Each structure stands twice: as structure tokens, then as C-alpha cells.
Amino acid sequence: MLRYLTAGESHGESLACVLEGLPAGLAVSPADLRRELARRRAAPGRSARQRKEKDSFKVLSGMHRGATTGAPVAILIPNAAAKAHSPCSVPRPGHADLPGMLKYGFADAALIRERASARHTACVSAMGAFALRLLTETGARFSSRVVRLSMTENPSPEEARELIARAAADGDTLGGVFELTCSGLPAGLGSHVHHDRRLGARLGAALLGINGIKGFETGGGFDLSSWKGTLAARDRRVSGGLDGGMTNGGDLVLRCAMKPVPGTEAGVPSFDCRDGRPALSRSSTSDVTAVYAAAVVAEHAAALELASALLEKFGGDTMDEIKERVRVWRKKTAELTGR
């Protein structure tokens, strides 16, 4: 089993995370981490802050000569935009500000938003580089694509650029839908026996845990409700790689809907919690759209969950052991299914 924790505030000194449960002998290079962090940071639609953040990182533990040792991997990602605490008494509607202030008893929204920020997803991407490596070493391949940006289906890069530029000019933000595909996963990850062991539920929790994600589908998703059973049972796209909470050897297909970032430059009506008077909540640094970045983070969050499920199924303390067990399992399932 893999487990991890992240820590840090959006404009605090640094982000930190610990990933525990990796086997020994997983080769992960600084270039692997840099590539995954850059895919997230440089995605279309990001705020001006991303030109400042470099997402430089330091791996503090758990590695020796470019490979994991089996000990916890700790990573530090300093914030280039670190700054002194700046209190705010106007909660941003649609963000964690107000419920967080009520829950934790603060009159200062910054004490909530600093941690609720999606900045911490840089940690997910850094750790995701390890999980992706583990999965690709055992034969899996990931990809993601934005299938809707606001109202536009399958936007081309030019269409996306234009939509983003128009929304930025209006001081507005855009949501959308992205799709993840993971091919080459061995059959039998997850389990049918309990709700919290079903892989679809685990992946749903991982992806709905990413800031701004409001909808989650596997395979045919919501559209399936209008299909007839006789048709659905014959179409492999229906299951999206999961049957009964387990991988079935087909491509895993997941989709997420992301809301538009609710903090906008144009502003939305709110109130000042010092005196209850109406106030405008404006955000000049929001991402115009976080959908492209979230698709990358979702690959990483899903990879962490899938790597965990793979380690549960195959066990093993070294990559060599795991790879051998996966090889034997693939041979056995191929013989059983005739594929």
C-alpha cells in the first residue's frame, strides 16, 4: 500500500510531502520529477503566478544513486511567491473561505484559503512521478486530454487559446471536462468485496479530492443510464476498464468535470465579516482555467491510487520482485482468457 501526506500553504515558505510504501529499486531521475511538475505548471490557462513559480524541488530522503531504497520519500518544493501573511475579512463565494472560517472559528479568510489553494497539487505531481514510473515499469501507459472547455467540445489548441484569452479579457474563468486513459494495467487490481476496496470508488475519492472537481465518471458514465442492458453488456466501453470494482484488463477510462475557478477578476458580491456590509470579492491572480492543469494532476493522483492497488495485489519489496510477479500474473490471465 502507498500512502502520502502533503503540507504547506500557497504563499508559505515551502510545500512538503512524504510518500511511503514504495519498493526499493525504482529508478526515478530529477528529470522525471521536473517533467511532471512542468506539465502541471505550464498547462494552458494558468495565472501569472506560474511565471514566477519554478517548482524547484529537493528530494530529502528515501533515494540512493537515483533509485528508491524502500524508505519514505520526502520532497520539499519551495514557493517562489512566498510572502508574509495578509489577512482578509471578505470571503470569496464558491471557495473554501466561508465554511472554513465557520468551522475553524476564524474571522480571517486567508487562514483557510492558503491551505485550500490548489498550490499543494505540486506535491501530488512530484509524488505522481514516482507512481507513474512504477506503473510504466510494469507495463501501464497514461494519457489525458481535455474533452470540453466551457461549452466547446474537444477544443483544438487554437480554440482553447482563443477561449482563454476571451475569458481573461472579461475577467472571467472557465471550467471543463477532461478524460484520463490508462492502458496496460493487469486485471484484478481492486476488489468487489467491499465499498472501500472497489477501485472505482478509490479512484473517485482520489480525483474528487482535487480542488474544483465536481463530477466523476468511469467508462460510459452518466450516459449509460439511457442504454438498454442487452446493448451495455456487449460494449467494452461501458465498463471503462473496471467491472465489479476491479480492473478487467481493458483500458481504464475516467472523466472529471471541473468547475470554473470561482475567484474572478471581475469580482462577485460578498460581505465583510467585520461589519456584515456588502463587499466585492475579487481575485486578480486566479487561473483563467485550471482544467488543463487538473488533467495532469489527475493523472498523478490516479497513478498514486493505481500504484497502491498494484502493490497490494503483487506485494514485493523490490522492483525486480514486483515485475516478475506481474509478468507471471499476465501470463496466467492470458492463458485463462485466451488473450
Q: Could you list the residues that contact ligand EPS (CB under 6 A)?
A: 10, 47, 49, 53, 81, 117-119, 121-122, 211, 285-287
Closest CB 15 distance from ligand EPS, rounded Å: 9
Nearer to ligand EPS, 44 or 219 (CB): 44
Closest CB 118 distance from ligand EPS, rounded Å: 4
Closest CB 281 distance from ligand EPS, rounded Å: 12
Do residues 113 and 92 touch, judged by C-beta distance below 8 A?
Answer: yes
DSSP string, 68-109: EESSPEEEEEE-TT--------S--TTSSHHHHHHHHT-S-T
Nearer to ligand EPS, 53 or 251 (CB): 53
End-to-end alpha carbon distance in the chain = 29
Residue of minimal Cβ distance to ligand EPS: 285
Closest CB 314 distance from ligand EPS, rounded Å: 33
**Pairwise CA distance, residues 159 & 174, whole Å:** 13
Helix (H) or strand (E) holding 7: strand 3-7
Do residues 199 and 190 touch, judged by C-beta distance below 8 A?
Answer: yes
Nearer to ligand EPS, 232 or 257 (CB): 257
Closest CB 103 distance from ligand EPS, rounded Å: 18
Closest CB 202 distance from ligand EPS, rounded Å: 24
Instruction: Using alpha carbons, list the distances in angstroms from residue 202 to 133, 138, 205, 209, 214.
Output: 20, 21, 5, 11, 16
Nearer to ligand EPS, 122 or 311 (CB): 122
Closest CB 96 distance from ligand EPS, rounded Å: 9
Closest CB 79 distance from ligand EPS, rounded Å: 8
If one counts every other C-beta atom within 10 angstroms of the C-beta of residue 89, the result is 16
Nearer to ligand EPS, 81 or 169 (CB): 81
Alpha helices for 170-290 (secondary structure H): 199-208, 229-232
Instruction: Using alpha carbons, list the distances in angstroms from residue 150 to 146, 202, 218.
Output: 11, 27, 21
Cell readout for 183 is 492502458
Taking each helix axis from N to C terminus, what angle separates 291-314 and 199-208, rounded to the nearest 10 degrees? 150
- State the number of CA atoms in the 13 A half-sphere of 301 facing the CB: 26
Do residues 256 and 177 touch, judged by C-beta distance below 8 A?
Answer: yes
Nearer to ligand EPS, 86 or 226 (CB): 86
Nearer to ligand EPS, 14 or 47 (CB): 47
Nearer to ligand EPS, 287 or 305 (CB): 287
